[in-house]
């Protein structure tokens, strides 16, 4: 096969490319020339391969299935053919190759031969596989952990119920026998038991959120409903809540309602003493899905705790100042992640916070 002067120059240049094996084949798939990269990847010297058929790089299984022939046929028919798979080096070791074969034609459109570019992706393939395995293990571990949380919180409810029942009995039947201190201690025990009940319920709810029914959700209607549900705290605080043109998204309606409810009720709750909450909800189209912003003029969040607040039971304020159990934002994070999105906060202390989240279902 004649390549001419241009081809020789091209081959000289191709010799410099060491990460790719570049081969020229005749019509039958016999190797006419190749570059330095091919030597590196396949382990043969030029002298050993020139004139041999490129079938030598294929595994026995691929040979039995006629893979090299069908790739050449596809390249003749469509102009080019690509493939990814195991190939064999001179020493018998395998490598994962990404291959492109292009047919070369003469001026009468007759096939002269083929150019073939192979990239060794073994390392990348191994890394991808390791990452996939790691992600699979992590998902299984998370699932186990959730099951553990569910079982533990479920089982904790029972002894707690006994405790609260007996506290009630004590209060009803023996409070007359207790002095002032005794009554005070009993009320502490009762408050703590109530609080524990709330925490366990929060944990149970948290572990129960999972992938469930996806439908179209009109966020404009949903936020209006949330506003109605929060009527009393809105009235008490005098909060103003602005939103318009919120989109229709794909997602789980109950979860998205809870997401807005948690963020809006936090925006009302964490207001500066003596100030009126001004809350704005808006949305922006993203390449994939939507980004929502819930902005408030509240107490703000210290830069250092921007991530911590999304961890279950983490709170920045004492319960005597702002009540709560530190589960709301952990719920939000889980819901957003189930919708293939992410949630974060931007904030300036004493000026306000903007919670941003994406929904990409």
Q: Which residues bind ligand ADP (CB under 6 A)?
A: 262, 266-267, 270, 296, 298-301, 309, 315-317, 324-330, 353
Give the CB-nearest residue to ligand ADP: 324
**Beta carbon nearer to ligand ADP, 115 or 265:** 265
Count the Cβ atoms, other than its own, within 10 Å of residue 44: 19
Distance CA 220, CA 82 (A): 48
> Measured from the CB of residue 100, what is the shortest distance to ligand ADP in angstroms?
52
Take residue 284 and report the two structure tokens written for it.
Answer: 């922006």
Give the residue with the Cβ less far from ligand ADP, 267 or 281.
Answer: 267
Rounded to the nearest whole angstrom, what is the least distance from the CB of residue 125 to ligand ADP in the complex?
A: 41
Q: How many CB atoms lie within 10 A of CB 154?
A: 13
Give min distance, CB of 274 to ligand ADP, in A: 16
Question: In terms of CB distance, is 76 or 316 closer to ligand ADP?
Answer: 316
Q: Is 34 exposed, middle or buried (0-12, 13-18, 19+ CB in 10 A)?
A: buried
From CA 326, how far away is CA 5, in angstroms rounded?
75
- Specify the residue, 35 or 297, whose C-beta has the smaller distance to ligand ADP: 297
Is residue 57 within 8 Å of residue 136, measured between CB atoms?
no
CA R_g for the chain: 33
No. of H helices and E strands in the chain?
Answer: 11, 12
Q: How far is the CB of 149 from ligand ADP (least distance, A)?
A: 16
To the nearest whole angstrom, how small is the minimum distance from the Cβ of residue 243 to ligand ADP? 16
Cβ proximity to ligand ADP, 170 vs 356, nearer residue = 356
Q: What is the DSSP letter of 297?
A: -
Q: CA angle, corner 317, sides to 316 and 323, nearest 5?
A: 125
CB of residue 257 to ligand ADP, shortest distance in Å = 16
Q: Which residues pair with 116 in a beta bridge?
A: 23, 101
Q: Which is nearer to ligand ADP, 41 or 279 (CB)?
A: 279
């Amino acid at each position: 096969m004649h390549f001419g002067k241009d081809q020789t120059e091209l081959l000289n240049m191709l010799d410099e490319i060491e990460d790719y094996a570049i081969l020229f084949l005749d019509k039958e798939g016999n190797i006419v020339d190749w570059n330095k990269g091919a030597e590196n990847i396949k382990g043969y010297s030029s002298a050993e391969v020139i004139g041999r058929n490129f079938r030598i790089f294929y595994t026995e299984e691929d040979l039995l299935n006629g893979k090299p022939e069908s790739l050449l046929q596809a390249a003749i028919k469509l102009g080019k053919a690509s493939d990814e798979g195991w190939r064999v080096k001179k020493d018998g070791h395998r490598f994962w190759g990404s291959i492109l074969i292009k047919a070369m034609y003469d001026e009468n459109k007759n096939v002269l031969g083929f150019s073939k570019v192979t990239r060794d992706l073994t390392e990348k393939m191994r890394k991808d596989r390791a990452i996939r395995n790691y992600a699979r293990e992590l998902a299984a571990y998370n699932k186990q952990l959730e099951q553990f949380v569910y079982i533990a919180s479920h089982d904790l409810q029972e002894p707690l119920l006994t405790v609260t029942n007996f506290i009630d009995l004590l209060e009803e039947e023996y409070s007359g026998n207790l002095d002032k201190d005794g009554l005070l201690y009993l009320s502490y025990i009762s408050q703590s038991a109530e609080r524990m009940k709330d925490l366990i319920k929060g944990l149970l709810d948290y572990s129960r959120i999972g992938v469930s029914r996806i439908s179209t959700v009109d966020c404009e209607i949903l936020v209006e409903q949330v506003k109605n549900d929060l009527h009393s705290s809105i009235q008490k605080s005098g909060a103003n809540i602005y939103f318009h043109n919120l989109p229709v998204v794909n997602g789980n309606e109950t979860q998205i309602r809870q997401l807005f409810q948690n963020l809006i009720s936090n925006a009302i709750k964490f207001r500066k003493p003596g100030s009126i909450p001004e809350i704005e909800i808006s949305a922006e189209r993203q390449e994939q899905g939507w980004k929502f912003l819930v902005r408030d003029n509240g107490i703000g969040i210290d830069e250092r705790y921007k991530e911590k607040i999304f961890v279950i039971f983490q709170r920045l304020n004492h319960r005597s100042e702002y009540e709560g159990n530190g589960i709301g934002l952990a719920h939000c994070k889980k819901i957003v992640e189930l919708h293939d999105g992410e949630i974060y906060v931007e904030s300036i202390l004493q000026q306000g916070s903007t919670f941003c989240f994406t929904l990409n279902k």
